[in-house]
């Protein structure tokens, strides 16, 4: 009997470099930066870092929308062997990101203090975070551009080059972050500002590397009759924007939920804020395998459906759920055995590690809901069914999670730990509802016949 879909070995082969890429992009720089900032031994500074990074995480998800749209389009055209359209899609994505990336960056730079105050951030922490947010807004613009390049590479099933680019980028970031934040090799300590400068250097180098690779790689010549930046099609740009908008809305809806969590937790004080930052980062560490598999399943489903192999696409979905679920469960268990140990790495004065350590095991039990919805959302995006993901995430976040989290935050619960767990847990109940609705959609036949 013929094998349905990719083998487990092939799936792990696609996943491994993507895992490294996701670690370098989403987790390693955040954890390293948090560790370096923790050496300043200021809970307020550490908490401020978490608040700003949480907000920036939402904007990074917005940047990923164009990249995901590029993956879906490039994967579909590549699977159909329409190489000319693969190349023109990259050019259209490049010019699209220049415009789209400039808007949030400009707003952040101009209204950084006002944004933090609107999030109910304590005044002294808002003052600490404003200069940091201004500089990081410039990094967001650079990230938009680079993710368009990486979307092209992933769409043609090249996950190794993005991995290498991110390895170089994070290495540069770590060196400059350590030097500039703490003031080494004769330079003054710049604290949070130093971290932002290190990010700007990192993304600039990555853009240069991505551009050089695409222009100089021999096997890409089948896609380009001229350099990618000469491709400019009004119709192509409109198609990318049309496909990106639903992805942008759904990613903004989910990632804004973390910002919402911060907002309702902020009144509980700096130790609760720092605990939220720590728990979120530790969960993200354990969640890495699922994040990587979500990207893999997007381009695999896109390519399989482009070749007319719906049965193979479904087989890949089942295999990815098994693999990702097992890996995430192991990671959460390891951290839950002794969460205080991990917490004290980022809390050298032991001000909030006991609180965070006590909350983590209970919250981690609900992470399974987030894992399921993440993978299934990647499946639907790969099929071009982005509007379904958009509407489900938008409606559940704004009409379920927002009011529920607000309601819990107003309850007269004297036990701060219990209140913290209930507020945080409401986020995962929301992702559980998302996953259930995604399953209903996948049981229909319409998800795999969406036109893009």
pLDDT (tens, 9 = 90+) of the chain, 452 residues, equals 456 777 888 888 888 888 887 777 677 788 889 999 999 888 888 888 888 888 887 777 777 777 777 887 877 777 777 777 777 777 778 888 877 888 888 888 888 888 888 888 888 888 888 888 888 888 888 888 888 888 888 877 787 888 888 889 889 999 999 999 999 988 888 989 999 999 999 999 999 998 888 888 878 888 876 666 656 677 777 777 777 777 778 777 878 888 888 889 988 888 888 899 889 888 888 888 998 888 888 888 888 777 777 788 888 888 999 998 899 999 999 999 988 888 888 888 888 888 988 999 999 888 888 888 999 988 888 887 878 888 999 999 999 999 999 999 999 998 999 999 999 999 999 999 999 999 988 888 666 555 55
Predicted pLDDT at 448: 59
Q: Which residues of 418-444 are buried (b: 16+ CB within 10 A; e: fewer)?
A: ebbbbbbbbbbebbbbbbebbeebbee
**How far is Cα 129 from Cα 113, in angstroms, rounded to an integer?**
8
pTM value?
Answer: 0.75
With both helix axes pointing from N to C terminus, report the angle between 8-22 and 160-182 in degrees, rounded to the nearest 10. 20
Q: Give the domain extent around 381.
A: 8-449
Q: Based on the structure, what is the number of domains in the chain?
A: 1
**How far is Cα 295 from Cα 374, in angstroms, rounded to an integer?**
10
**Inter-residue contact 112 to 38 (CB < 8 Å):** no
Predicted pLDDT at 1: 40
**Inter-residue contact 260 to 299 (CB < 8 Å):** no
Predicted pLDDT at 179: 96
Predicted pLDDT at 433: 94
Within-domain flag for 3: no
Predicted pLDDT at 240: 78
Predicted pLDDT at 7: 82
Within-domain flag for 161: yes
Within-domain flag for 2: no
- DSSP single-letter state for residue 26: I
Q: CA neighbours within 13 Å on the CB side: how many for 279? A: 30
Within-domain flag for 1: no
Predicted pLDDT at 255: 81
């Amino acid at each position: 009997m013929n094998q349905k879909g990719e083998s487990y070995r092939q799936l792990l082969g696609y996943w491994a470099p993507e895992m490294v890429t996701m670690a370098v992009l989403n987790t390693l720089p955040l954890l390293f930066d948090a560790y370096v900032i923790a050496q300043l031994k200021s809970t307020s500074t550490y908490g401020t870092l978490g608040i700003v990074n949480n907000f920036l995480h939402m904007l990074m998800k917005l940047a990923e929308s164009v990249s995901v749209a590029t993956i879906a389009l490039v994967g579909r055209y590549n699977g159909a062997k329409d190489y000319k359209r693969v190349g023109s899609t990259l050019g259209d994505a490049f010019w699209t990101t220049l415009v789209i990336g400039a808007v949030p960056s400009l707003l952040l730079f101009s209204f950084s203090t006002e944004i933090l105050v609107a999030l109910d951030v304590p005044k002294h922490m808002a003052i600490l975070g404003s200069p940091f947010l201004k500089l990081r807004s410039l990094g967001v613009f650079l990230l938009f551009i680079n993710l368009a390049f990486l979307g092209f590479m992933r769409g043609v099933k090249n996950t190794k080059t993005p991995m290498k680019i991110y390895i170089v980028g994070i290495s540069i970031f770590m060196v400059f972050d350590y030097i500039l934040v703490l003031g080494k090799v004769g330079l003054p300590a710049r604290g949070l500002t130093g971290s932002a400068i290190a990010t700007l250097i990192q993304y600039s180098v990555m853009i240069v590397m991505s551009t050089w690779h695409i222009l100089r790689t021999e096997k890409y010549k089948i896609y380009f009759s001229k350099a990618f930046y000469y491709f400019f099609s009004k119709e192509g740009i409109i198609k990318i924007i049309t496909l990106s908008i639903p992805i942008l809305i759904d990613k903004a809806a989910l990632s804004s939920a973390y910002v919402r969590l911060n907002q309702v937790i902020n009144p509980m004080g700096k130790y609760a804020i720092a605990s939220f930052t720590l728990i979120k980062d530790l969960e993200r560490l354990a969640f890495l395998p699922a994040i990587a598999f979500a990207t893999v399943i997007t381009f695999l489903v896109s390519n399989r459906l482009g070749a007319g192999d719906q049965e193979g696409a479904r087989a890949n979905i089942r295999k990815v759920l098994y693999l990702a679920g097992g890996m995430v469960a192991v990671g959460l268990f390891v951290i839950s055995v002794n969460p205080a140990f991990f917490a004290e790495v980022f809390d050298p004065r032991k001000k909030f590690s006991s609180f965070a350590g006590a909350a983590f095991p209970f919250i981690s039990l609900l992470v399974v809901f987030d894992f399921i919805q993440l993978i299934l959302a990647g499946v639907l995006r790969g099929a071009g069914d982005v509007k379904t993901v958009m509407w489900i995430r938008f409606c559940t976040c704004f009409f379920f999670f927002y009011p529920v989290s607000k309601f819990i935050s107003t309850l007269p619960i004297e036990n701060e730990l219990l209140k913290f767990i209930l507020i945080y847990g409401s986020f995962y109940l929301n992702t559980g509802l998302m996953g259930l609705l995604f399953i209903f959609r996948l049981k229909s036949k319409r998800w795999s016949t969406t036109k893009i």
